[in-house]
Amino acid sequence: MPNIKNIPADCPSPHRPIKYLYWPTDPLPLKIVTISKDKLSDFIDRSVPPKGKACDRAYFGLDLVMILSIADSSASFYNATEEKYALKEVFETIDENSCPLSFNFHMHTVHSDGQLEPEILLKQAIDIGLKGMAITDHHTIGGYAIVRRLLDSWEGNLQESQSQGKLYTFYPQAHQRNSQNNSQNNVKIPRLWTGVEITAEIIGIKVHILGYAFDPEATSMQPYLQGKEPVGSDYQAIRVISAIQEAAGLAVLAHPERYRRSAEKLIPEAAHLGIDGVETYYAYQNPKPWSPSPKQTKTVRKLAETYGLLQTCGTDTHGSNLLLRR
């Protein structure tokens, strides 16, 4: 076991707790850990990370973990890339029938330019029977944060009521990591991922890039979660894509057929910059009921397959109904 006093001064250590530390995650799964001081020595190991700087590196079982912060309470663990890889698996199954009744990965609340309060959005998602979703407000996770708290609160209340043999039925405040029928109130609970829509520039035009499953506390994401469009170099698509990926997230080009350049021009360039996916299934003419536009879908799907990109869907809801765009 290494002597932790020998850790270089510019590295995080038990004596210099940190809020967030990024570590390249592919192909290794990354776990972020909060651990008590008295148990820290059980997990610390040393290595030489990229750029030759020797910092803490910890292992828990066979999974790579990084020290997130040092707590005085007992140890607890959170897998930072579990969400990413779970979402990636979902994206690999998405087709023209996935949205809006099974999955929806593009929606807005009153925290940006939408009309839905987060609580009402969640109720609608449960009533629809969504299996998975992401709230993608522009440059903020305010709506997501409220829904996340509701779900976590419900989970705690449900566990307490079950332990006391009581029936807990408070409608939308429900959360389980994997979507499943809840025996207490027979509602299907959607899995919620972090999401955001970011304005960026690519080949001289303004586009929107969707970020999913990222760590909302990641340093790289902070310029994009301030409630306004990024400026300067942060406005460049390559920076936006990198920031999302550094936060263990997935970057997706939104509605590729809505811009002043064609999808045939944009998607190859976005792929060159390292984007993870494109929003293939999108309703460009705002039909009622919602359905992806056939012509644009065919074009985008072919390009996505050519460049090996993930394909997503979303209603891009700005109005008061999750089943429609407006």
Q: How far apart are CA 296 and CA 258, in angstroms?
A: 10
Q: How confident is the model at residue 269 (pLDDT cuts 50, 70, 90)?
A: very high
Which pLDDT value is given to residue 149? 94
Provide mean pLDDT across the span 33-56.
39
Contact, 242 vs 220, CB < 8 A? yes
In this structure, what token pair is assigned to residue 31?
């776990």
pLDDT given for residue 80 in this prediction: 56
* 127 band by pLDDT with thresholds 50, 70 and 90: very high
pTM of this structure: 0.73
pLDDT given for residue 158 in this prediction: 59
For residues 322 and 125, is the Cβ–Cβ distance under 8 A?
yes
**In this structure, are strands 44-47 and 103-104 parallel, antiparallel, or unpaired?**
unpaired
Amino acid 153: pLDDT: 84
- What mean pLDDT do residues 7-16 have? 40
Average confidence (pLDDT) over 275-303:
97
Token pair 């879908």 is found at 297
47-61, 62-76, 225-239 — most confident range: 225-239
Give the pLDDT of residue 187.
64
| pLDDT above 60 (res 38) | no
Question: Closest Cα partner for 172 from 130, 137, 111?
Answer: 130
Alpha-carbon gap, residue 13 to 53, rounded angstroms: 14
- Look at residue 52 and tell me whether its pLDDT is greater than 60: no
Confidence bin at 152 (pLDDT 50/70/90): confident
Residue 269 to residues 93, 133, 289: CA-CA distances in angstroms? Answer: 24, 27, 33
Q: Which of 40-44, 49-53, 177-181, 249-253 has the highest mean pLDDT?
A: 249-253
**Quick one: tokens of 269?**
């360039």
CA angle 237, 239, 245 (to 5 degrees): 105
pLDDT for 14 equals: 38
Instruction: Identify each DSSP E strand in 82-158 by its residue range.
Output: 103-104, 132-134
**pLDDT band with cut points at 50, 70 and 90 for residue 165:** low
| Mean pLDDT, the chain, integer | 77
Q: How much of the chain exceeds pLDDT 90, in percent? A: 63
DSSP 8-state symbol, 190: P
**pLDDT per position as a tens digit, 175-200:** 333 344 444 455 678 999 999 999 99
